[in-house]
Amino acid sequence: MQGESRTHQTVRAPRVMLYSHDTFGLGHLRRCRALAAAITSADPSASALILTGSPVAGRFTFPRRVDHVRLPGVTKRSDGSYVSQTMGMGIDDVTNLRSDLICSAAKRYDPDILIVDKEPTGFRGELRPTLEMLQAKGRARLVLGLRDVLDEPEVLAAEWARKDAVTATERFYDEIWVYGLRSVYDPTAGLPLSQAAQARMHWTGYLRRDLGPVGTPPKQPYVLITPGGGGDGEAMVNLVMSAYEQDPDLSPRAVLVYGPFLSGDTRAEFERRVAALNGRVTAVGFESQIETLFAGADGVICMGGYNTFCEVLSFDKRAVIVPRTVPRLEQWIRASRAEELGLVRMLDESRDGLTTEAMIRAIRNLPNQPLPSQAIGDGLLDGLDYVTRRVDALLRGAKDQAAE
């Protein structure tokens, strides 16, 4: 039996599972989707399965050999608590249901590698039974993937202590991948990780977005306005709208992507204001192929999420980032460091003021900004290549071990 199992392990096509808790926004799912696409492209025999709580997962297209399992969704309230989106169940029951679904999927799919996005034990610890099961089974390699910035060191240390995340990271994960460069920012600063855990860290570089096949962009020239998922983008969108309303000569025109999470009432009011601008601002709701809009844009006004930042760099677009500062300083930290490096310009509330006049100046000055490519250093956008090399190494390591 043992010999049969080893033979099976060495001949079957590689399987990579990615976990994305997705309680808010699009960032985690989009990062997992980019990773899965790169992994299956680098190895045409490999498949990938994404476990996600995103309510809009079904509106994305996925590459061949990449599929997803939709977990019951949860929403974060303004007071920090969570509630089930649609199930009519208490949060504890929904978490247990999600945990059971994750574990069942892992047992059936039997991954060679599990890549966990950001949360070492998942949403409210839901991933722990799966981690324990896979570790006991002893074949899957477990990887924790962290974005370039998580939060302020002191805030992050307190959060990880509350979730017992450091202990879980030390116990379960064979490797820790940071999707950035240490020279830009260290998201683990302030965490009491052991030297052994730090030795398992890999700094991949940022995850370049492939332009790939794109559609026909809107009439050019235009500035792209994107608040990411849109759930916390109302203030930024309002600022841009006010700029075009106040300055009738402001150009070029703007193409606004609301994002799927902008509330209905807020969007309806923005639609009214867009219509009154007579084509100087046009808007679309949710654009799963936002690459087309990036490709045709003269510049970008955006928030400071990880994926949008990667797109700005990948498509080499002049950008003004308007970072959110609550509930985390993540976007502000990323934007301020990127501005120091000459990659983007930041519209900072304390320094510039979040005023209509400041936004008008930012849009007018976009053509004078340097392109990100003028400041990008070696390795900054090599993340996907680095990840596919690590996946290959882990798979070869697993096969070597299975053949012993």
**pLDDT value, residue 239:** 95
Residue 215 has pLDDT above 90, yes or no: no
Give me the mean pLDDT over the 85-111 stretch.
Answer: 92
> Looking at 32-41, 261-270, 359-368, which range is the least confident one?
261-270
Confidence of residue 228 (pLDDT cuts 50, 70, 90): confident
- Residue 286: pLDDT band (50, 70, 90) is low
Q: What is the mean pLDDT of the chain?
A: 90
Query: Listing from the earlier edge strand, what are the strands of the sheet with 253-257?
Result: 281-284, 253-257, 222-226, 299-302, 319-321, 345-346
Rounded to whole angstroms, how far apart are CA atoms 312 and 231?
20
pTM of the model: 0.91
What's the pLDDT at 6?
45
pLDDT reported for residue 57: 77
Q: What distances in angstroms separate CA 288 from CA 40, 54, 61, 280, 283, one per listed residue?
A: 20, 14, 8, 23, 14
> Is the per-residue pLDDT at 98 higher than 50?
yes
According to the model, what pLDDT value does residue 8 have? 46
- pLDDT > 70? residue 78: no
Structure tokens at 70: 């939709």
Distant-in-sequence, close-in-space partners of 396: CB < 8 Å, separation ≥ 6 = none
CATH level 2 (architecture), domain 222-374? 3-Layer(aba) Sandwich (3.40)
Confidence band for 231, pLDDT divided at 50, 70 and 90 = low
Predicted confidence at residue 366, as pLDDT, reads: 97
Q: Which regions of 63-174 does DSSP assign to beta strands (E)? A: 66-70, 74-76, 82-84, 113-117, 141-147
Confidence (pLDDT) at 2 = 45
Distance CA(15)–CA(6), nearest Å, equals 16
pLDDT grade for 265, boundaries at 50, 70 and 90 = confident
% pLDDT > 70, the chain? 91
Residue range 114-123: average pLDDT? Answer: 96
Given the structure tokens 């106040």, which residue do they identify? 246
User: CA-to-CA distance for 251 and 364, rounded, in angstroms?
Assistant: 7
- Note the pLDDT tens digit of each residue in 320-370: 999 988 888 999 999 999 999 999 999 999 999 999 999 999 999 999 999
Q: What is the pLDDT of residue 81?
A: 74
- So where are the chain's domains? 15-208+382-403, 222-374
In tens, the pLDDT along 293-317 reads: 999 999 999 999 999 999 999 999 9
Residue 60's pLDDT band (cuts 50, 70, 90): confident
pLDDT value of residue 400: 63
Res. 143 pLDDT band, cuts 50 70 90: very high
Q: Look at residue 135 and tell me whether its pLDDT is greater than 90.
A: yes
Instruction: Answer with the residue of higher pLDDT: 10 or 252.
Output: 252
The C-alpha atoms of residue 135 and residue 180 are separated, in whole angstroms, by 27
Query: What is the CATH topology of the domain spanning 15-208+382-403?
Result: Rossmann fold (3.40.50)
> Rounded mean pLDDT of 115-130?
96
What distance in Å separates the CA atoms of residue 20 and residue 218, rounded to the nearest whole number? 32
**What is the model's pLDDT at position 23?**
63
pLDDT of 95 above 60: yes
User: Model confidence at 170, in pLDDT bands (50, 70, 90)?
Assistant: very high
Q: What pLDDT is stored for residue 25 in this prediction?
A: 58
Strands (E), 64-193: 66-70, 74-76, 82-84, 113-117, 141-147, 175-179
DSSP-assigned beta bridge partners for residue 146: 178
Q: Which residue has the higher pLDDT, 192 or 58?
A: 192
